[in-house]
Structure 1
Amino acid sequence: MLSLLRRLWRVPRWRWSVLLVLLLGGCSAVALQQLDARFGTPSPHNREVSHDSFAGRQWESEVKPVIETRCVVCHGCYDAPCQLKMSSAAGIDRGMNPAPVYDGTRLLAANLTRMFEDADTTEKWRNMNFSPVLNERVDSPEANLEGSTLFRALSQKRKVPLPVTDEGLLPEDRFDLSLNRSQVCAPVERYDDFAEDHPDWGMPYALPQISDEEHRTLVNWLAQGSLMTGPIPLPKSLAPRLQKVEAFLNGDSLKQRLMTRYIYEHLFLTHLYFPGINGPDGRPIFFKLVRSSTPPGEPLQRISTRRPYDAPYTAYPGDARLTMPHDDAGRPRVYYRLWQERATILAKNHLPYSLSEARLERWKALFLTPQYAVDDLPDYDLKTASNPFLTFEAIPAESRYRFMLDEAQNTIMGFIKGPVCRGQVAVDVINDHFWVGFTDPDLFSRPEVERTLAREGKNLSLPAAQSSNALPISSWIKFEGKQTAYLEAKQALMTKAYADGNLRLDTRVMWDGSGWADGPGGEHNPNAALTIYRHFDNAAVMKGLVGSTPKTAWIIDYPMLERIHYLLVAGFDVYGNLGHQLITRLYMDFLRMEGESNFLALLPAGERQAVHDSWYRDVGSGLEGLLFKKPPQFDAPSGIVWTPEELSSPEQARLGLMTRMHQRLAPELEQGRSLSNVKNTFVRHELEALSAVRGFAASLMPEVTIIALDGGDGGSPQLFSVLRNSAHANITSLFDEAANRRPQEDSLDVLRGVAGDYPNAFWHLTPERLDGLAERVAALEDEDDYRALMADVGIRRTDPRFWEFSDSVLRANYADRPVESGLLDYNRLQNR
């Protein structure tokens, strides 16, 4: 007994405090004045410690992994509840704000609240209406716990565990899982009232509580003051690589400066990395290309503006044009620097881009070797800066196009994974599954093409020229006229090229991937063919022609690809008003129809209209008929020699063209997603049968289901994705997509690996349990059937095994795609 008392006496005092608060359940009724009276008035703390300190090692090895895998999966992006972004130490310290970033009804653009950009201290975030989730009063164990919203939320979950119905579901009257649900962002001073009103809403919200060990880890960390580290120290081997890249990007000639502005405006969202140089976790160390007022070699002073092409001096208060660095000609001098990523990598906004040894040589060959003159640098006036055809007119169009094609998946992922994170405005303009090819970049090396682009530059202007506040109807009328004028000029150019024999309407018009590839394959590039899977408010982009043959395909040319980027990436403002978001959506309709028209032009002339009409069934003759009228068609005959069967119907012609598209791009097709790579014949057969399910039964499936297939050997599971392709009569509806749904035409595709960043459901299976699964899915008739299936094979969000299962999926995904993968988002997990 004496020995026990001695050991207890040596326990640090703060641990007694932790134990006491845990025993009490953390439910002290503490009013604001009581907190102030006991622990003083709040003010932000400095919580950063070095990586080699005891607290730093504890944060990195024990605390941070728990926060990432249990918190960041819901609190990681613009749509993090209460803007609480826990994907970085700075985000946790910043805290929460009740104002939603996603608001499709606001009349005026909102103030910016981007991490690492719009405030650089916790004090500034407090002035922007962010309240802390960590204690900011006196630093003591009692205060650190009682004054922490995060501790209160964790303790509330243990006091009131997740309620589960007899069916294994959450009670629908006690939880709202809709994306636009009302959020209650209670600071610590009002947390008791929140807990009384919503006793079931402890954290993690609508998911099982974390383990006892994980809870103790977080509570101990909170009690000790919530100390965290900054960015990881960079390996010495990176220094010369960083210096080389920054030196290349900051050359003094006008040609170099124009090149780097172009590169920056296309890669500002990208996660750049150096192959072969990894961090302590074995994964690449990622950087972002940013603008700085200081040159390489000096501390980086980041310039943050609403858009990447805004004038750099607008990032500073007052007339900063007087204090910005300038060159000898009086032009603002901007430097381009590599800024180390501070946040956890999330799959939903991860755009990896290799800075290999060959990359700089490629950029040099594209932008510096060609002979062209840059007599002056373009300014930052919004009307011209938002239009790349005016700003970068001096750079050859072929060079610009090849730059984007080199990493076309990354280019397209910009509007899928860019600033949107909740992308219904961006993605309800596209079909659920379609293939993408690109026109041959050699076509844009011709002088007549350059002249046409220069002449049509103003007609290629984009909605962002009106900033983040726009009037949608008048804007649409203006841009519709510009688009029509441009298409007429394009038609005239194509007609002349066709007559001169410089344009052939066959599959050779498509880029075959030749030109440059950074890695195995040499001169052939797998970015030549892409597949897009769209879901209700998010999407995925994959290399190759993936899945079953889709209904539609796009052929994208340079002006279209450039406008997609400046419309939905560089020019899109997630904080913009209703008008800005609506006109962006309407303009994207122009681009979708243009890409479809490029594809239709390769069909037999007599079948083009019928195929187009099959994509736009039931479009009314009123407003929608006006908004989505068929664009002008190039009416020259196709150069493809068609078989009698292909000419027998519009559907056969469409399928024939898609088969020929597949044959044209076959050498470049990425096969990693294909079930043909599954070695187990039985598993492959059963998954292929599941992928063949069509009709109403398919419509009862979630949009994204991840299957973890255990081999029974204790190793990592094999991961597969079941994607539901939602059929539509047309995709012209701006606000009532459900009216155009055709569930009886839905289909499924099963792909290898994780093919969606927002899973709706998890299945946990063994190979034996695949037997008969496809037949069971095909027999689904109603919601009760689906719930019975989930009860048998699913890991619901209420399942006590949920977190253990989640960890196994995460590990397998990292092993499968070490560069491309990131944390998944659990905000779309269904309660079914």
Structure 2
Amino acid sequence: MQFINVIVFCFISVVSLIATAETAPVLTEDFYSRQIQPIFDNRCLACHSCFNAPCQLNLQNFEGFQRGANKLNVYDGTRLKSVEPSRLWIDAHGSQWRGRGFYDISTSTDPEQNLFFQMIQLRNSAPGKAVKMQVSESRVCVQSMTDFPMVAKNNPELGMPYGFPALNHEELKTLKTWVEKGTPGPDKSSLEQQEKPSPQLRKQIAEWESFFNEENNRQRLVSRYLFEHLFLAHIYFPEKNDEFFRLVRSRTRCSKGVDEIATRRPNDAPGNAKFWYCLRKFPGSVVLKTHIPYEFSAKKLARYKELFLKEKWSVSTLPSYEPGVAENPFVAFKEIPVKARYQFLLDDAQYHVSTFIKGPVCNGSMAVNSIQEQFYAFFLDPNSDNMVRSKDYENKAAGLLMLPGMWGSDVDVKETGLFYKTLVDHREAYRKLRTEEVQKLRPDGYTLKDIWNGNGDNPNAALTILRHDDNAVVQTGAVGDLSKTVFVMDYPLMERLVYNLVVNFDVFGNISHQLLTRVYMDMIRMEAEELFLAFLPAEERLSYRRAWYRGLLAQVKMSYIFPTVGSAEPTGVKFNEDNHTKKQFVEKILFFHMNEKVRGSLDFVNWKNLEVPDSMKSLWKVEGLDRELRKIAAVKAHKKTPFARYFPDLALLKVSGIGEKQKVFSLVRNKEHENISWILGESLRMDPVNDTLTIREGFWGSYPNMIFEVKENELPAFVVQAKNIKNEKDYQGLVRRYGVRRSNEKFWRVYDDLGRYMKQTDPVGFGYLDLTRYDLH
């Protein structure tokens, strides 16, 4: 009898185990890394990463999940006082986040009482519930299971993934099992792997850290300069280009384990008399909106030594971190030769421009709405820069190049107007000084040779910036048709852009700090446009300026805040005719001053006003997909062809060929403005009849608003239908036929395809796309 009981017991146990195995996955070694993070990456990071994550829930790694959520809106542009920074991996760890207002979202091992799981299951129980507002507009943060029933009843559309197809059965079952086991994180081995660099990189890392931490004052000053420019970089090594690092300041020697010093800004005092610069492994999944890759290699280290240490110069006293010094690079780093600083910026201009285009904040409408939707950027040659050529001029200019960061994150609201006037007065004094110096050094005006040509091999010499509402992207080459405005930047402009919008800017600062940062960006933009105009005939500069700043209020602002200075000075550039000089000059730069390696490939799709010279006509071959897409690229949205104005800021076009062959194009809407002189009321200053589409292969933006999926043989029909759009109804017809709406059951399949394609074609630049601005329809 006892034997029978044993047999029955074993039988029941086996059946029970089988039943359990059928209903839930077995927790394997490091279940989190193998099963959970991939779900977060592919279904959650599209919204839950960086400061724009709903309720600050960042799921780039387990530490973000553990930290939980917080109701504070980081992008609150009306706060009178700054708030504590909440940068994941930097400002706090573990239980410290509870003291900063973050709450746990995994509230129970019972899935029915677990807030995290219930928010996901809510989407499965109401899969067709459409959302009515974008993520950035939704401010509901469910804090406990006590709040959940009311939210589930009144706002079922808040189920996760927000407004997209629900997780499939297997994904939901995996998450349920994880919750039941107490949501365990990565195992010890995975955590070590997450923190430690791969063995093949340790030698290179040690060499770089040794360079940064040499004791002499020259090296200490150079290291501080480099750190303040590279703190946002996702640093990688060519030996393993899928592993990224951050350059940080540590209280301990790098070899002893990094103890990162968290300060609001990279130029704030570190608080330790002794500290070290270390490379800390980036611990989470990479998202495209914050991904700014930067290569460290033996060649780059040799270049740094050549730029900064080959020339003989000395440091009498290291600069302080006090206001008036730390936020002004022309004062703090005056001992470093200007040419070395400027050439450092030029060598990797795309990276440095990306830091203030992408910014340290994920999105930035206040900063980005101060630039045009598409424009080219060129640079003054180092040998033509006033600061490089004259030490006396450098000393005179340094104090005039003050930046709003000197007043910190809590600018007295009552003093904002006075501070603004101070900035304008200093800027105008600098413009006058600069003009006088140019008259002395360049009495016959600038020539084509004064534009940096990348030394014949550097593609950073020509850049294009494309704006998509409150975010933007920068790439090498002249992309898109001839831009309305053009930047030419010299060293003071480049350095001020970096320090105003990146180093000195605090997204957690108060309203006045953010306002002064924005209006100073206005000043820099106008200076960069003014430097470009200095290459054109004097008699045409004012007419271009008026065309760029249309409207009575804009003209009044320009007259009082940015009056013409040096507008009568000559140019040394020779022009063939009296009109279209902007076009002529850009063509001279691209086709006669730069070679193909520097300017990049010809833009067969978008160049309509830009024309290649006769000597290059044999290279102009518009074929295949380019021939079709060219029909809708760079076409102004006039009465007969208004289609561009109905497209969103950024659409991705996935063209599938035979078998696995496919291509992805970005369709970027360039929204025209009468002017971009003001922070508010942008919609009142639009000029939609001059909107156009710029079309470029690849991912030219992080925040797609729509995805179109087209077979290669269907592309002509897609183009014809797009070109015939006359109203919103017509555009929706294009979306119905080719678009992948957020409610489409195949949405995640297409989204995953795009991710795989990006990773295959650009492994270094790969990052997960953001869907917080995807079309609501």
TM-score w.r.t. the length of structure 2 is 0.92
Q: Distance in 2 between matches of 1:549 and 1:81?
A: 38
Q: Distance in 1 between matches of 2:635 and 2:486?
A: 22
Structure-2 residue corresponding to 1:707: 653
Structure-2 residue corresponding to 1:365: 306
Q: CA deviation at 1:182?
A: 2.5
Structure-1 residue corresponding to 2:523: 590
Q: Distance in 1 between matches of 2:152 and 2:237?
A: 47
User: Given the alignment, which residue of 142, 148, 155 partners 2:121?
Assistant: 155
User: Given the alignment, which residue of 269, 273, 284 partners 2:232?
Assistant: 269
Is 1:671 matched up with 2:671?
no
Cα pair 2:269 2:321 within 8 Å, conserved: yes
Structure-2 residue corresponding to 1:794: 739
User: Given the alignment, which residue of 334, 343, 347 partners 1:406?
Assistant: 347
Q: CA deviation at 1:610?
A: 0.6
Q: Show the 5 A alignment for 1:186-335.
A: 186-229=143-186, 230=191, 231-232=193-194, 233-278=196-241, 284-313=242-271, 324=272, 332-335=273-276
Cα pair 2:605 2:633 within 8 Å, conserved: no
Cα pair 1:55 1:228 within 8 Å, conserved: no
- Structure 1's 274 and 56: CA in aligned 2 closer, same or farther, altered over 3 A? farther
Counterpart secondary structure, 2:503: coil
Instruction: Report the more deviating stretch, 332-341 or 144-153.
Output: 144-153
Is 1:603 matched up with 2:533?
no
Cα pair 2:536 2:585 within 8 Å, conserved: yes
Counterpart secondary structure, 2:653: strand
Instruction: Specify the code of the residue in structure 2 equivalent to 1:261.
Output: R
Q: Distance in 2 between matches of 1:490 and 1:456?
A: 8
Q: Distance in 2 between matches of 1:98 and 1:15?
A: 39
Q: Distance in 2 between matches of 1:147 and 1:627?
A: 62
Structure-2 residue corresponding to 1:555: 488
Counterpart secondary structure, 1:460: coil
Q: Which string of whole-angstrom CA distances, capped at 9 and with x for unpartnered residues, describes residues 679-716 of structure 1?
A: 99332211111214321321110110001111131x15
Counterpart secondary structure, 2:442: helix
Structure-2 residue corresponding to 1:614: 547
Is 1:659 matched up with 2:587?
yes
Structure-2 residue corresponding to 1:519: none
Instruction: Specify the code of the residue in structure 1 equivalent to 2:236.
Output: Y
Q: CA deviation at 1:450?
A: 2.7
Cα pair 1:55 1:227 within 8 Å, conserved: no
Q: Which string of whole-angstrom CA distances, capped at 9 and with x for unpartnered residues, describes residues 472-530 of structure 1?
A: 3222111000000111111111000013x7xx52221110001xxxxxxxx62110000
Structure-2 residue corresponding to 1:805: 750
Q: CA deviation at 1:623?
A: 6.6
Is 1:486 matched up with 2:486?
no
Counterpart secondary structure, 2:631: helix
Cα pair 1:84 1:92 within 8 Å, conserved: yes
Structure-1 residue corresponding to 2:419: 475
Structure-1 residue corresponding to 2:5: none
Cα pair 1:396 1:450 within 8 Å, conserved: no
Structure-2 residue corresponding to 1:768: 713
Q: Distance in 2 between matches of 1:432 and 1:4?
A: 70
Q: Distance in 1 between matches of 2:314 and 2:223?
A: 15
- Structure 1's 687 and 4: CA in aligned 2 closer, same or farther, altered over 3 A? farther
Instruction: Specify the code of the residue in structure 2 equivalent to 1:658.
Output: V
Instruction: Specify the code of the residue in structure 2 equivalent to 1:654.
Output: K
Q: Distance in 2 between matches of 1:349 and 1:425?
A: 17
- Structure 1's 309 and 621: CA in aligned 2 closer, same or farther, altered over 3 A? closer
Can you give the 5+ residue segments of structure 2 that lack an aligned partner in the other structure? 1-7, 607-618
User: Given the alignment, which residue of 71, 81, 87 partners 1:108?
Assistant: 81
Counterpart secondary structure, 1:418: coil
Q: Distance in 2 between matches of 1:622 and 1:718?
A: 45
Instruction: Specify the code of the residue in structure 1 equivalent to 2:55.
Output: C
Over aligned residues, Cα RMSD in angstroms?
2.3
Is 1:530 matched up with 2:463?
yes
Instruction: Specify the code of the residue in structure 2 equivalent to 1:598.
Output: L
Can you give the 5+ residue segments of structure 1 that lack an aligned partner in the other structure? 20-52, 138-142, 164-169, 279-283, 314-323, 325-331, 515-522
Q: Distance in 2 between matches of 1:362 and 1:622?
A: 46
- Structure 1's 807 and 451: CA in aligned 2 closer, same or farther, altered over 3 A? same
- Structure 1's 627 and 747: CA in aligned 2 closer, same or farther, altered over 3 A? farther
Q: Distance in 1 between matches of 2:387 and 2:559?
A: 35
- Structure 1's 462 and 244: CA in aligned 2 closer, same or farther, altered over 3 A? same
Cα pair 1:686 1:773 within 8 Å, conserved: no
Counterpart secondary structure, 1:784: helix
Instruction: Report the more deviating stretch, 629-638 or 792-801.
Output: 629-638
User: Given the alignment, which residue of 3, 8, 15 partners 1:8?
Assistant: 15
Structure-2 residue corresponding to 1:339: 280
Instruction: Specify the code of the residue in structure 2 equivalent to 1:273.
Output: Y
Q: CA deviation at 1:627?
A: 6.2
Structure-2 residue corresponding to 1:753: 698
Instruction: Specify the code of the residue in structure 1 equivalent to 2:707.
Output: F
- Structure 1's 540 and 479: CA in aligned 2 closer, same or farther, altered over 3 A? same
Is 1:458 matched up with 2:425?
no
Cα pair 1:208 1:802 within 8 Å, conserved: yes
Cα pair 1:309 1:385 within 8 Å, conserved: yes
Instruction: Report the more deviating stretch, 258-267 or 421-430.
Output: 421-430
Q: Distance in 1 between matches of 2:265 and 2:110?
A: 39
Q: Distance in 1 between matches of 2:360 and 2:104?
A: 25
Structure-2 residue corresponding to 1:43: none
Structure-2 residue corresponding to 1:319: none
Q: CA deviation at 1:226?
A: 1.9
Counterpart secondary structure, 1:754: coil
Instruction: Specify the code of the residue in structure 2 equivalent to 1:476.
Output: Y
Q: Which string of whole-angstrom CA distances, capped at 9 and with x for unpartnered residues, describes residues 149-173 of structure 1?
A: 211111111111123xxxxxx3xxx
User: Given the alignment, which residue of 748, 760, 781 partners 2:726?
Assistant: 781
Structure-1 residue corresponding to 2:476: 543
Cα pair 1:309 1:386 within 8 Å, conserved: yes
Is 1:98 matched up with 2:71?
yes
Q: Distance in 1 between matches of 2:396 and 2:387?
A: 15
